[in-house]
Every structure is written in structure tokens, then in C-alpha cells.
């Protein structure tokens, strides 16, 4: 039998109060695409960090080509051809494409000077091999998300990589960019490059992977050949039981108008946006990447400026100039960038949950820590946040559990209007369903929810009405009972007008 390229043998990793990996046994073969799936906190990221030198294992063995290895630095793993592209891209926007590709590994000529021409030429060749027509002298900050990801992949391939790890690579890409990326993975496989593909989108896993390894609670529960795998079977392995309905929408009683927006505009970004939101309603916003959905609600929340428009809350016109005023008027905004804008990563879960409602927990000029901790415990139990304690730093949680902390923070404000911007991005199936249950609880309590999502099934499955945007304008409105994916896509690509 062929010897595995990489072997994990009884590998364990411990953090304070947490068993991140528990006696993991797994193989990776040269030239295959191996899918790695599991719920948030299952151990996927930790397993990858052991290969990239960001963490070292505590027990067991890792073998590469039959030789035992202990990775203690990124340089060590790169030296043997292991490289990773993470969901949070590691690029410098102010630098050019070629500068990013060779950052920290600059080529030098025989005299020790930077060999700029050789770096530019090689960066261009790698990008061409990827089917990308990107000017290597352009600033990375001016590129779209898909092109930025290609720069990251080019950086990895510049190392003569044997194993490329792609961690949630499609979470911020359009449908066309996703298709392009999957084709690139197929081409890399043809060249004998091994790929570990981590994704919560099971349709991608089933489309691209030769084998799929499933992690649950730090353990490998199964490795399944692609021909034997189905989405339902993988979900059951991931969560340990049948999930049931992926979109457990519960129709709430529709009440009074909570929010009305009239002729909302921001020059060059969006124009003539108008809609209403009622108590008990989930209003979905659909559209392709760059359609302007997020920008509308950043302006509504007072983060970005607007040029015109009127906003009414419970029938009364209000002026919102900053997020503090938005919160005062009962609006909560769960930003799509949870790490950059939603959390204070170095602080505790309890502190983050109390952050948007500090007046609740004030004791004179100080924070009533005991009261904040008690509230945090309630939300930890309610949202099933995996953590040893409410004092645990948020930056040590998995992405899905970080998202749950953001949700808890905003529910804690007693808001009535909830804006959920890509609330399940990067979450596993089980965690997504938990978020949907939270949305049901909010609408049952008479709140109104705006759901911005690039996941078409999510919008169709959880919304009472769907509004569609294209290039900063509303191009379609559909009630849930009449909404169809084809019609929404037509509106999202500008082929029909509202």
C-alpha cells in the first residue's frame, strides 16, 4: 500500500481547560485533495496549525515521508513544502502584488541586492499558471477579494509547495470566483500538489475532494471516500446526530411597522433605497458580492455617511449620525467582519457580551464584573458557546464560537431591530442551525430581523420577504412563498428591475 505523505499517529493537543485534539489518527496522501470538515471547535484549525508550525503537538507523532517531525516554526514547514492560505488573508494592502508574493522571502542577486525583475517575472508566471491576468505592479488593496485570494495562493506556490492548505477559501467569494478557485484546485492536483481543503460548504467538499476526514470534539470520527459521501451523512458524522431541517423557519405573527427607510442614498455607492420592516418579520437582502447591501446598513447604523434619505422607527422620523445613536434607537448591527469590528479579541467573553450594554452592568464608575459574568454564563448556555469559562479570551475561541459571542453581545442590548450581516459565514451546519433558532426566538418576541446573506438557500429558507440589490439599487422584491432561486439570481445580475 502507498505510504502516506503525512501521518498523524495518536496526536493530542491541550490548551488550558480544553482538549483541542484527542489522539488523532489521520493520513494525507501525495497528490490528493483531502477535505477536512467538522463543527466549529472540532479541532480543524488546531490540526492545521500543527503542520504550519503555529502550534506544536503535546502527545503522539507526526510523520512526513515516514520521518517523524515536530514543527516549531512556519519557516520549518515551508522548507519542506507546506504552506497555508487562511480565511483571514495575510496580505499587506499598501504593497504591490509582487511585493506581497515575496514578502519576507525576497530574491537577491549575486551582489546581495534585491532582484526585483526576477521576483516580478516569477510572480507573473505563477499567476499566469493560475489563469490570472493580474498586474504584479498593482496595489493589492485595490484588488477584489477573489484576486487577493489568488495573490495569497501565488505566495504559497512561490515556495515550491508540496502541500497547500486552503482554510475556508470561498467564504468571501462570488459564485464565479468559487468556480474559478475549484478549477485551480483541480489543476494543482494534476501537477501532483496535495491540497487540504477546509470548508463548511459541503457542496464544495463533495465536488472537489477525493477523501473527506470528519472531526468531532477533537477526534477523527471517520474518513470517507468521495464516492461514498453525501451531505446528510457528513452532517450526521459532524454533529453526532440527525440535524433535521437545515432552515427551521418558524413564521411569527407580523406586527406593526418597526422600520421604514425612504430614498436612502450615498453618492457612488447606493441610491433610491426604500423598504419597511415589521415586528416578527425576517427581511432578507440578497445580491452578488459588491451589490451594496452591507454599505446600506453601515450607513443606516451611522458608521458610514449618507447623502439623502429618511429613516422612521415605529413611525417617528429619526436622525442617526453614529452607532451610539443607532443603539439608542434600538438597532443592533452584527457586522460581517466579526474579528475586525465585532469583538475585542484580547478581552474575555463576559466583557465582550457586556460591551454594547455597559449601562446595565455599571456599579458607580466601574463595571459590575459579577453581574456581567452571570449574564455571560446565561448566553454561553443559551447559544452553546464552547468555552471553559466566561473569563476565557475571545481570541482563543473558534470562529463559530466568536460569532456566537457577537450575537450574544447584541441580544444583550434589548434592541428591537437586528441587522444580521452574513451571520453564518464560516460556521458549520450545526452552528448555523443554532443561529437560525436565535432568529426565530427574536421574531417570536416581536423583534424585526434584516438578514443579509450571500447564501441563497439561507435567504430563501429563513426570510418572509426577500429584497435583491444590484450595483447599489433595488432590483427585485419577493415574498417567501413566491421566491425562486432563478428569479432572485436574475434580479441580482441586473436583468430585471424592481
396 is in which domain, residue-wise? 257-492
User: In this structure, are residues 187 and 33 in contact, taking their beta carbons and an 8 Å threshold?
Assistant: no
- Percent of the chain past pLDDT 70, that is, above it, reads 98
- Alpha carbons 240 and 234: distance in angstroms, whole number: 10
User: In 3D, which of 66, 45, 67, 46 has the Cα closest to residue 56?
Assistant: 46
Average pLDDT over residues 353-368: 78
Is residue 2 exposed (0-12), middle (13-18) or buried (19+ Cβ within 10 Å)? Answer: exposed
- Output the domain CATH number for residue 224: 3.40.50.300
Predicted local confidence at residue 498, as pLDDT? 47
Predicted local confidence at residue 244, as pLDDT? 60
Find cell 456581567 and name the residue.
372
- The conformation of residue 304, written as its DSSP 8-state character, comes to S
Average pLDDT over residues 216-239: 90
Same domain, 134 and 263: no
Same domain, 267 and 196: no
244 falls within a domain: no
All three cell numbers of 444, joined, read 417570536
User: In 3D, which of 246, 208, 247, 237 has the Cα closest to residue 39?
Assistant: 237
Does the pLDDT value for residue 433 go beyond 70? yes
pTM strictly above 0.75 = no
- Asked which of 183, 208, 239 is the last residue of a domain, the reply is 239
Does the pLDDT value for residue 221 go beyond 90? yes
**331: Cα separation from own chain's centroid:** 23
62 falls within a domain: yes
Predicted local confidence at residue 171, as pLDDT? 73
Average pLDDT over residues 269-288: 94
Identity of the highest mean pLDDT range in 272-276, 381-385, 388-392: 272-276
C-alpha count within 13 angstroms, C-beta hemisphere, residue 103: 17
Residue range 151-161, pLDDT digits in tens: 989 998 888 89
Same domain, 346 and 376: yes
Predicted local confidence at residue 473, as pLDDT? 93
All three cell numbers of 5, joined, read 505523505
Same domain, 227 and 110: yes
All three cell numbers of 105, joined, read 522571502
- Asked which of 239, 269, 299 is the last residue of a domain, the reply is 239
pLDDT band, residue 243 (cuts 50/70/90): low
- Alpha carbons 366 and 351: distance in angstroms, whole number: 13
155 falls within a domain: yes
**Residue 108, C-beta contacts closer than 8 angstroms, at least 6 positions apart:** 114, 115
- CB-CB neighbours of 204 under 10 Å: 18
As for how many domains the chain has, the answer is 2
User: In 3D, which of 209, 186, 228 has the Cα closest to residue 37?
Assistant: 209
Q: Comparing 402 with 34, which gets the higher pLDDT?
A: 34
C-alpha separations of 13 from 60, 220, 289, 387, 398 in Å: 9, 14, 38, 16, 15
Decide: helix, strand or coil at residue 412: coil
Predicted local confidence at residue 291, as pLDDT? 86
Find cell 476565557 and name the residue.
392
Average pLDDT over residues 366-384: 84
pLDDT band, residue 287 (cuts 50/70/90): confident
Same domain, 379 and 475: yes
C-alpha separations of 354 from 34, 375, 413, 449, 470 in Å: 41, 8, 8, 21, 37
Same domain, 284 and 226: no
- Alpha carbons 202 and 199: distance in angstroms, whole number: 7
142 falls within a domain: yes
Largest CA distance in the chain: 75
Predicted local confidence at residue 69, as pLDDT? 93
pLDDT band, residue 256 (cuts 50/70/90): very high
**Residue 498, C-beta contacts closer than 8 angstroms, at least 6 positions apart:** 468, 473, 474, 475, 476, 477, 491
pLDDT band, residue 496 (cuts 50/70/90): low
Helix and strand totals (H; E) in the chain: 16, 22
248 falls within a domain: no
Residue range 181-191, pLDDT digits in tens: 899 999 999 99
DSSP string across 60-109: EEEEETTEEE---SHHHHHHTTEEEE-SS----TTSBHHHHHTTTS--B-
Decide: helix, strand or coil at residue 337: coil
Does the pLDDT value for residue 130 go beyond 80? yes
Average pLDDT, the chain: 89
246 falls within a domain: no
Q: Which sign does the torsion angle of CA 138, 146, 307, 318 carry?
A: negative
Same domain, 163 and 261: no
252 falls within a domain: no
Does the pLDDT value for residue 495 go beyond 70? no
Residue range 455-464, pLDDT digits in tens: 888 899 999 9
323 sits in the region (left: phi over 0; alpha: psi -120 to 50; else beta) called: alpha
- Asked which of 186, 208, 239 is the last residue of a domain, the reply is 239
Phi, then psi, of 302 in degrees rounded to 5: 90, 10
C-alpha separations of 122 from 76, 281, 322 in Å: 23, 54, 47
- Percent of the chain past pLDDT 90, that is, above it, reads 52
Average pLDDT over residues 206-227: 94
Same domain, 227 and 286: no
Predicted local confidence at residue 132, as pLDDT? 87
Same domain, 363 and 311: yes
Same domain, 271 and 210: no
458 falls within a domain: yes
Does the pLDDT value for residue 400 go beyond 80? no
Same domain, 293 and 192: no
User: In 3D, which of 374, 372, 401, 396 has the Cα closest to residue 386?
Assistant: 401
User: In 3D, which of 258, 266, 262, 331 has the Cα closest to residue 293?
Assistant: 266
Find cell 432563478 and name the residue.
486
Same domain, 273 and 231: no
Q: Find the range with the poorest average confidence among 85-89, 350-354, 457-461.
A: 85-89
Predicted local confidence at residue 232, as pLDDT? 84
Average pLDDT over residues 470-492: 85
- Alpha carbons 104 and 401: distance in angstroms, whole number: 33
Predicted local confidence at residue 1, as pLDDT? 52
Amino acid at each position: 500500500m502507498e505510504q502516506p505523505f503525512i501521518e498523524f499517529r495518536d496526536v493530542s493537543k491541550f490548551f488550558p481547560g480544553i482538549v483541542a485534539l484527542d489522539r488523532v489518527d489521520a493520513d494525507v496522501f501525495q497528490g490528493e485533495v483531502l477535505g477536512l470538515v467538522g463543527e466549529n471547535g472540532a479541532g480543524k484549525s488546531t490540526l492545521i496549525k500543527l503542520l504550519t508550525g503555529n502550534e506544536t503537538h503535546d502527545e503522539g507523532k507526526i510523520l512526513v515521508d515516514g520521518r517523524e517531525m515536530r514543527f516549531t516554526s512556519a519557516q520549518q514547514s515551508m522548507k519542506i513544502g507546506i504552506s497555508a492560505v487562511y480565511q483571514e488573508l495575510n496580505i499587506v494592502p499598501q504593497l504591490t502584488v509582487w511585493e506581497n508574493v515575496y514578502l519576507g522571502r525576497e530574491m537577491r542577486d549575486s551582489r546581495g541586492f534585491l532582484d526585483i525583475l526576477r521576483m516580478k517575472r516569477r510572480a507573473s508566471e505563477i499567476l499566469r499558471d493560475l489563469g490570472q491576468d493580474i498586474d504584479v505592479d498593482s496595489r493589492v488593496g485595490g484588488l477584489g477579494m477573489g484576486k487577493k485570494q489568488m495573490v495569497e495562493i501565488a505566495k504559497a506556490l512561490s515556495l515550491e509547495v508540496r502541500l497547500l492548505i486552503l482554510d475556508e477559501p470561498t467564504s468571501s467569494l462570488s459564485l464565479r470566483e468559487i468556480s474559478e478557485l475549484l478549477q485551480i484546485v483541480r489543476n494543482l492536483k494534476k501537477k501532483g500538489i496535495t491540497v487540504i481543503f477546509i470548508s463548511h460548504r459541503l457542496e464544495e467538499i463533495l465536488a472537489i475532494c477525493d477523501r473527506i476526514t470528519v472531526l468531532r470534539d477533537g477526534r477523527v470520527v471517520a474518513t470517507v471516500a468521495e464516492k461514498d459521501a453525501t451531505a446528510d451523512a457528513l452532517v450526521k458524522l459532524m454533529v453526532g446526530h440527525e440535524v433535521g431541517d437545515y432552515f427551521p423557519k418558524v413564521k411569527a405573527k407580523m406586527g406593526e411597522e418597526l422600520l421604514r427607510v425612504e430614498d436612502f442614498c450615498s453618492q457612488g455607492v447606493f441610491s433610491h433605497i426604500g423598504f419597511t420592516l415589521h415586528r416578527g418579520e425576517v427581511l432578507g437582502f440578497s445580491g452578488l458580492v459588491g451589490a451594496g447591501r452591507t454599505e446600506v446598513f453601515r450607513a443606516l447604523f451611522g458608521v458610514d455617511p449618507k447623502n439623502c434619505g429618511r429613516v422612521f422607527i415605529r413611525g417617528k422620523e429619526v436622525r442617526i449620525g453614529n452607532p451610539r445613536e443607532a443603539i439608542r434607537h434600538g438597532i443592533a448591527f452584527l457586522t460581517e467582519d466579526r474579528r475586525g469590528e465585532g469583538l475585542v479579541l484580547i478581552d474575555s467573553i463576559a466583557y465582550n457580551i457586556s460591551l454594547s450594554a455597559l449601562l446595565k452592568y455599571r456599579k458607580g464608575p466601574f463595571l459590575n464584573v459579577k453581574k456581567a459574568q452571570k449574564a455571560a454564563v446565561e448566553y454561553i448556555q443559551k447559544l452553546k458557546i464552547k468555552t471553559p469559562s466566561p473569563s476565557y479570551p475571545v481570541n482563543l475561541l473558534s470562529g463559530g464560537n466568536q460569532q456566537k459571542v457577537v450575537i450574544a453581545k447584541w441580544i444583550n442590548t434589548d434592541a428591537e431591530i437586528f441587522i444580521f450581516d452574513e451571520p453564518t459565514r464560516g460556521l458549520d451546519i450545526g452552528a448555523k442551525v443554532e443561529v437560525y433558532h436565535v432568529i426565530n426566538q427574536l421574531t417570536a418576541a416581536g423583534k424585526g430581523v434584516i438578514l443579509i446573506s450571500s447564501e441563497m438557500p439561507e435567504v430563501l429558507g429563513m426570510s418572509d420577504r426577500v429584497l435583491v440589490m444590484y450595483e447599489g439599487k433595488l432590483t427585485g422584491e419577493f415574498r417567501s412563498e413566491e421566491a425562486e432561486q432563478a428569479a432572485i439570481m436574475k434580479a441580482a445580475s441586473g436583468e430585471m428591475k424592481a
